[in-house]
Amino acid sequence: MSGSRAPALVTLGESMGLITAVETGPLEFARSFSYGIGGAESNVAIGVARLGHAATWIGRVGRDATGDMIERRLLGEQVRALVVRDDGFTGLMVKHRRFGTALSVDYHRAGSAGSRISRADLPPGCIEEAAILHVTGITPALSDSASDTVFHAVERARAGGVTVSVDVNYRAKLWPAAVARPVLLRLVAQADLVFAGVAEACLLLDAVDRPPIDELARAVSALGPHQVVIKDAERGCAALVDGSAYRLPALPVSVVDPVGAGDAFVAGYIAEHLAGKPAAQRLHTATAAGAFAVSVPGDCEGLPRRADLNTLIAYEDVAR
């Protein structure tokens, strides 16, 4: 266990080692690699911490160098890490750019330490003391015990009056849509706040044709959550928050690495939610955080701090 701050955000899931080929081209010809960490939930925890709020991440890592690195990185980011060391290996992601901006990500995580998370890993009070519990649709796909842990955490949060945030985060490489959909629907129905991409919203709604983004937000809201944010990459986002609709364009930036942009967006929104900011400000910060993330290689390296956001606001004012 690392850190001692009382958490405002609690999240749980799998964090992995991230191997990234530096050169563009077939992976077999790559000779230079960087090594970092990745994982949707730990990315969000880091993003929220960088924006000035206490954050806790719960998960399992192996008794290996990658597990050591993950715990140290979280500690260095001022994230309170409730880490269980497991005899299994710490999972890995391998990322390379085949051509242009086309990224490919392979997972090596079946049977990993992170996939063996269980409800026993959630200490008494760790959920109940939070302001927001954030979970994703990735963790239930990892194993039966991981799925059970997510729903147990959500149940405890709801019983304790804690806001439940869900990022649908469907990963086709982890489970087929027909298996994922009923699980994701159950998760969304218990959420207060839901983030989804356009394709993910269509999956939830079993929509063959893509409806307008504002209609998607209304339809997902009808499933239960009173805050729904639909992320539409470079086209911006739409939201329905307590019955009020919002639209916001994406910021025009050069995309270096799109992986992790959705997590940055979520972190920005949650950080402003914790700060008591109105929905429009939450979305503005979320959009800015996503823009920072895509401009830097890596899963979490580009997550902004408050000073970065202030610099961007000043730049936008000048541009106008």
Q: Which domains does the chain have, with CATH numbers?
A: 9-315 (3.40.1190.20)
Report the chain's mean pLDDT, rounded to a whole number: 89
Q: Compute the CA torsion angle 34, 35, 40, 45 (nearest 10 deg).
A: -110
Q: Which two tokens stand for residue 240?
A: 């329905």
pLDDT of residue 198: 95
DSSP H or E segment with residue 308:
helix 306-319
pLDDT of residue 236 exceeding 70: yes
pLDDT of residue 169 exceeding 70: yes
The beta-strand segments (E) located in 109-226 are: 132-136, 163-167, 193-197
Q: Is 12 helix (H, G, I), strand (E, B) or coil?
A: strand
Backbone angles phi, psi at 240, to 5 degrees: -125, 110
Catalytic positions? 263
Q: What is the mean pLDDT of residues 116-127?
A: 96
Binned at pLDDT 50, 70 and 90, residue 249 comes out as confident
Binned at pLDDT 50, 70 and 90, residue 314 comes out as low
Q: What is the mean pLDDT of residues 29-45?
A: 91
Q: Which two tokens stand for residue 317?
A: 């004012």
pLDDT of residue 257: 58
Q: Which two tokens stand for residue 245?
A: 């609709």
For the entire predicted model, the pTM comes to 0.91
Lowest mean pLDDT among 122-131, 247-256, 310-319: 310-319
